[in-house]
Amino acid sequence: MAPTDSVNFEALQILLKASSREQVVALCQQASTLGQAKSVPTQTVAQVSRALSVEPTEARQLTQALQGVISACLQQDLCDSASIQQIFPADFHQNLKSLLVGVLAEHLSQWKTQAINSQVSLPQLVDFDWRVDMKTSADSVGHMSAATCLLQLKVQNVPKQVDRVPPVDVVNVELSKETLDTMLDGLGKIRDQLSSVAAKP
């Protein structure tokens, strides 16, 4: 069965009720966060229903149709307008097709990355910051100072709901120069191994 055989293209006509291109983009973005989930969350159905002033059944059908189209494009690795147009039936509404093709061509790369990241089952590092601090301590001999690195890691948790962005935790770590040297040496070896794997045909 072709990736688009199960897509209800007729349900996509509901998008003709959208008030702007931005609203269509938002609805596509919302559908993309669901991945290949079998059911559409009630909250998402309610949001789409209110946005387009349609019945919940229509909102669910539209969201599932958008899921199907986005999934088909990702599975076939489509990225340009010419190839994306081919997945729509010949008798599909021309203006709506042009709009959807434009939106898909613009955002598919982002949604592909999103889909890949959603398959990772461990928390992800999304950002980090650091600064060097002087740590002073007192002992029987006198005051002693040592430079330390204060490292702040921002880690995004594993998503538990398909329509919710997981929270970001902040972890602060203090590293001595010796510990930092050891860590950098280990990261260098990891980088070299990843580069070696990526270079293999």
Query: What is residue 37's predicted lDDT score, i.e. its pLDDT?
Result: 74
Please report which confidence band the pLDDT of residue 137 belongs to, taking 50, 70 and 90 as the band edges: low
Please report which confidence band the pLDDT of residue 2 belongs to, taking 50, 70 and 90 as the band edges: very low
What type of residue sits at position 142?
Answer: G
DSSP class of 176: E
The answer to whether the Cα torsion of 34, 38, 44, 49 is positive or negative is: positive
Give the predicted TM-score (pTM) of the model: 0.59
Average pLDDT over residues 131-149: 73
Query: Would you say residue 15 has pLDDT above 60?
Result: yes
Sheet arrangement for strand 124-138 = 124-138, 143-156, 168-176
194: enclosing H helix or E strand: helix 177-199
As to burial, measured by CB atoms within 10 angstroms (0-12 exposed, 13-18 middle, 19+ buried), residue 54 is middle
Query: Would you say residue 120 has pLDDT above 60?
Result: no
Please report which confidence band the pLDDT of residue 74 belongs to, taking 50, 70 and 90 as the band edges: confident
Tokens at 83, concatenated: 């190839």
Query: Would you say residue 26 has pLDDT above 80?
Result: yes
Query: Would you say residue 140 has pLDDT above 70?
Result: no
Q: Please tell me whether residue 168 adopts helix, strand or coil conformation.
A: strand
